[in-house]
Amino acid sequence: MEVVRLGNDVLRDHAVPVEEINDEIRSLVEEMFDTMVKSDGIGLAAPQIGRSIRLFVVRADDGVKRVFINPQIIATSQEMCSYEEGCLSIPKYYDDVIRPERVTVQARNENGRRFTLEADGLLARVIQHEYDHLEGILFIDRIAPEKKAKVEEKFRKKAAKETV
């Protein structure tokens, strides 16, 4: 599986809900975990592999593989914190992003079971980053506009080179 990069329109789409959690979705989930681990990532959202559906996978510092299908963030803490983020779709760029410290998320797993998870630390961070992908939002949208413009320009040039 190839991870799509900044500049690909699919990253900007508002992803649609997963209608049925079936074998096709389960094998997609497996492939997404493989791709994520191979790329040294800790989270991967379906739009990043070109599928505009509401699904992401996470494996944060506790090592637990978590699947979020049709997730909803139902609560966020008032306390904010800053953390350096990166994204498999924006390789080799890292920057500090301010987000709520804790989140509560509701979703279904790959077996269709509904769960509610209260997360803090790195897990809360990854969940928010991946959830953004489903909304067509990238972490560079949350940094200074002039820095974002530079990153976008760099990737535009790179993409132009690759298509020549």
Tell me which residues touch Zn ion (CB under 5 A).
87
The residue length of the chain stands at 164
Considering the complex, state which of residue 28 and residue 87 has its C-beta at the smaller distance from Zn ion.
87
Considering the complex, state which of residue 9 and residue 113 has its C-beta at the smaller distance from Zn ion.
9
- Catalytic residue check, 130: yes
* Least distance from Zn ion to the Cβ atom of residue 88, Å: 6
**Maximum alpha-carbon separation in the chain:** 48
* Least distance from Zn ion to the Cβ atom of residue 2, Å: 15
* Least distance from Zn ion to the Cβ atom of residue 42, Å: 10
Considering the complex, state which of residue 87 and residue 124 has its C-beta at the smaller distance from Zn ion.
87
State the burial class of residue 100 (Cβ atoms within 10 Å of its Cβ: 0-12, 13-18, 19+). Answer: middle
* Least distance from Zn ion to the Cβ atom of residue 20, Å: 26
Neighbours of 9 (CB within 10 A): 10
- Catalytic residue selected from 118, 130, 146, 153: 130
Name the residue whose CB lies closest to Zn ion: 87
Considering the complex, state which of residue 2 and residue 19 has its C-beta at the smaller distance from Zn ion.
2
Catalytic site positions: 130
